[in-house]
Amino acid sequence: MSHDPLDIVIGSSATTKRDQQASASHLAAGKKHEATGAREQAIAEYRKAVASDPCSAEALFKLAYALDLLGEEEEAVSLYEKCVEQQPAHVNALMNLTVMYEDMEDYGSAERCLKQILETHPNHLRARLAMKDVIASKEMIVEEEADRDVFKRKAMLDTPVTDFELSVRARTCLKKMNIRTLGDLLRITEAELLSYKNFGESSLIEIRKMLAARGMRLGQGLEDAHRQARRALLDQYKGTGRETILARSVADLNLSVRARKALQLLNIQTLGDLASHTEAELMGIKNFGATSLKEIRERLVENNLELRKLDA
């Protein structure tokens, strides 16, 4: 998109106490210098025109445009911004400012400039075409940021636990438990760590602190998996009229005392919560055996549900 030197102003200029006559004189002199290619002299006159009348949209635009051509972008942007503050707004200043904002990847500001034009000039062709480009650029930036966030998170979860400052005992226990990465560690609960031989409270506190320093906690990975599974179930039942099944309380299942206690330990309150867990998670609860697992499976089948598979 090229800069347009035309001086199009929406409406009439505002009336304030200023030396408009002196400004007009310097502005005319600047235009004469500009016509002969004496750019520096033109800029000097335009500066005098702005100094005489800081509210002159034409003087502000002429000076901004001349500086823009010289590559003095910072000052040009500042002058364009002052120019478009004047009412009625200067269309070409808004267009040129849009271009400069786009170059700075400030697509939000560029979009605001174009909206200001289109509010009063809805058929302005350049503004309409520019708006399409700006919106496309904004969407691309959002997608790129999302991709970067996913990549960064995956890279972080793949970090070996040996990269963190942990005691020899803690490292040895994690290695024997086949916990190799940060992602592996986040999928383990405190209870599972403490149930391992030679893994004590001091090692647990050590790992808690290491994770807390990174805004993380044990079991976080499992919680993420549970949330994803619950969302998948909601999507599956959406519009079928059966969404209410997922919200039913597990108390309605009339489970045995042992099975109920296991679900309480895992903070499972609804059928949706229960269906988001795996058999392995339930079997990891102390005193939870095959009989209790069979009981829960049967109750879920009665409600057309099942426990989450590991690859789900």
Indicate the angle between helix axes 91-103 and 73-85, nearest 10 degrees. Answer: 140
Where residue 10 falls among pLDDT bands split at 50, 70, 90? very low
Calculate what percentage of the chain has a pLDDT beyond 90.
20
Would you say residue 102 has pLDDT above 80? yes
Q: Where are the domains of the chain?
A: 20-137, 161-212, 241-302
Rounded CA separation 211/251 (Å) = 35
Would you say residue 128 has pLDDT above 60? yes
Mean pLDDT of 237-254: 81
User: Which residues 6+ apart lie within 8 Å of 182 measured at CB?
Assistant: 156, 157, 158, 159, 160, 161, 164, 216
Which of 312 and 214 is assigned the larger pLDDT? 214
Mean pLDDT of 23-36: 92
Nearest to 133 by CA among 94, 101, 89: 101
Q: Per CATH, which fold does 20-137 belong to? A: 1.25.40
Would you say residue 218 has pLDDT above 60? yes
Would you say residue 154 has pLDDT above 70? no
Q: Give me the chain's average pLDDT, please.
A: 81
Would you say residue 312 has pLDDT above 60? no
Please check whether residue 258 is in contact with residue 274, taking contact to mean a CB–CB distance below 8 angstroms. Answer: no
Matching fold, domains 20-137 and 241-302: no
pLDDT the model gives residue 142: 62
The 10 Å CB-count burial string (b at 16+, else e) for 292-309 is bbebbeebbeebebebbe
Instruction: Provide the residue count of the chain.
Output: 312
Calculate what percentage of the chain has a pLDDT beyond 70.
85
Instruction: Identify the CATH number of the domain defined by range 241-302.
Output: 1.10.150.20
Would you say residue 219 has pLDDT above 90? no
Q: Per CATH, which fold does 161-212 belong to? A: DNA polymerase; domain 1 (1.10.150)
